[in-house]
Structure 1
Amino acid sequence: MKKVLLAGESWMIRTMETKGVDEFTVCSYEEAGIELKAALKGAGYEVEHMPAHMVPTAFPETFEQLDAYDLVILSDIGANSLQLAPDVFQHSIVGKNRIQTLSSWVREGGSLLMIGGYLSFTGFEAKANYANTAITDVLPVTLLPEDDRMERPEGVDPVVLHPEHPALGDAGESWPRLLGYNKVGLRDGAELLAVVGEDRDPLVAVSQQGKGRSAVFTSDCAPHWAPPEFSQQWDGYNRLFAGLADWLTE
């Protein structure tokens, strides 16, 4: 059974409530990516979810550790979480450049999928910050230097260019509307499979990277950018992400 590492797709919430003259703080923890994990498990993959707060301490830092997986998925987790291990950030101890290692691993035969979100690609207020890392060398797209979110509260229709491509998993040509995505450019030599928006920005793109492969889905795998009509009710959702995983690990 092929194994997938899904890094990201979780967050902590701190809410301050004021009731008359009294005030208190409530904290909670939430995970997303339920639909994505179900799609991959349904296609026969073993999925290990590494929540965002675990990434700084637990994300693989060597080829040997990465080789435990057939596919690495980065979804809504910024570059800082991969780069700033506690020893480096808190104690100024030299450590591994895990993004550089991941990039090299892909070229040597690994597989990488980046999924959009507020902390993917360049992200909200450019805080995802992948444009300044080695990950850009192995993605099928180029990244903006500034906030790249394209909020589309009115909805925007994806346009499938190559429905026959195996990476799309026979998801068909008619996809539900999305509510936003990360704006990127297409890198030379990459295959553009689906676009979105008035500028026909890349939505799904794939590329060969040395001995390995990479792909992007520039919208979200869950609400809010991927509303229930896309991520929960559309029967093409499972086929799409299973197709991407199958093509990447072929």
Structure 2
Amino acid sequence: MRVLLLGESWFIHLIHQKGFDSFTNSEYQEGGHEFKAVLRARDWVVDHIPAHRIADDMPTTVEGLRAYDCVVISDVGANTFLLTPSVFRTSASEPNRLAAIREYVLTGGALLMVGGYLSFSGIDGKARYGQSPLADLLPVDVLSGDDRVEAPEGVQPKVLTAHPALPDETTEWPALLGYNRTTARDDGDLLVTVGPDPLIAVRQVGQGRTGVFTSDLAPHWAPPPFLSWPGYPELWARLITWLAAR
């Protein structure tokens, strides 16, 4: 299996104020380490393109995307795919990367969107996938505006039905600390809820399949008990395997 992970990276800029004086520093971080580790432990190939490298490194054609069994978008907004430096700075015309993912799915590919502050609608509505070429492919409808549900007390996932995309783990799933609120589509399969909303849903669309996990694959919404849960590796392996129709 070959998986393309898009996103899961960020830059941090800090101001340190010490009395009269201040100074700044910056750092770069990548996430999704646990997710990548459990898939690579199965000898899968996981190519990770961080958010700031999408404009340069992501395949822009359906043929290039077909090298992968599944494309995973996690915590990177639609603008990163649409407003590349060439388009934004020089008004150049270039391929629509989200339209390429759409065609890849409709012709037999697999897409998984994982939640985060810049997934689905996202913080302050900035992720904007509800206005993107992917909107009508997902098994859920993306809301307008800020869709985050913050649950510092923890919110419990509830499995609605057995499905090959879910782990066999029969114990109670660990609580999550938040998720992106969406609404389930009638033509998708809602498998797991969190609070009153979808957590995991899947859908056959065209010749391909799409799925969502509306919480995070890493902190902060996915706390340490979820990452160390015995069902965590099987969850991602089974979900991606089903989406790839393997």
Kindly state the Cα deviation for residue 42 of structure 1 after the two structures are TM-superposed: 2.1
- Counterparts of 1:224-235 in structure 2, within 5 Å, are 224-231=220-227, 233-235=228-230
Q: How does 1:130-145 map to 2 (within 5 A)?
A: 130-145=129-144
Residue matched to 2:33? 34
Q: Name stretches of at least 5 consecutive residues in structure 2 with no aligned partner.
A: none
| Alignment correspondent of 1:175 | 173
SS of residue in 2 equivalent to 1:241:
helix
**1:1-250 to 2 correspondence within 5 Å?**
2-162=1-161, 164-172=162-170, 174-197=172-195, 200-231=196-227, 233-249=228-244, 250=246
Could you list the per-position Cα deviations for residues 36-63 of structure 1 after superposition, in whole angstroms to 9, with x for gaps in the alignment? 1012112331001111111122222111
8 Å contact kept, 1:171–1:237: no
Q: Distance in 1 between matches of 2:52 and 2:70?
A: 20
Q: Is the 8 A contact 1:186 1:202 kept in 2?
A: yes
RMSD of aligned residue pairs (Cα, Å): 1.0
Q: Are the aligned partners of 1:156 and 1:196 in contact in 2 as well (CA < 8 Å)?
A: yes
Distance, in Å, in 2 between the alignment partners of 1:190 and 1:135 is: 15
Tell me if the contact between 1:59 and 1:82 (Cα under 8 Å) persists in the aligned partners: no
Deviation per residue, 1:113-150 (Å, 9 max, x gap): 00000000000000000000110121111010111000
Query: 1:173 offset after TM fit, Å?
Result: 5.1
Q: Which of structure 1's runs of 4+ aligned residues deviate more than 6 A?
A: none
Task: Tell me the SS of whatever aligns to 2:191.
Answer: strand
Identity %: 51
Question: What is the rounded CA distance, in whole Å, between the counterparts of 2:243 and 2:42 in structure 1?
Answer: 14
How big is the shift at 1:11?
Answer: 0.6
Alpha-carbon offset, residue 169 of structure 1: 2.7
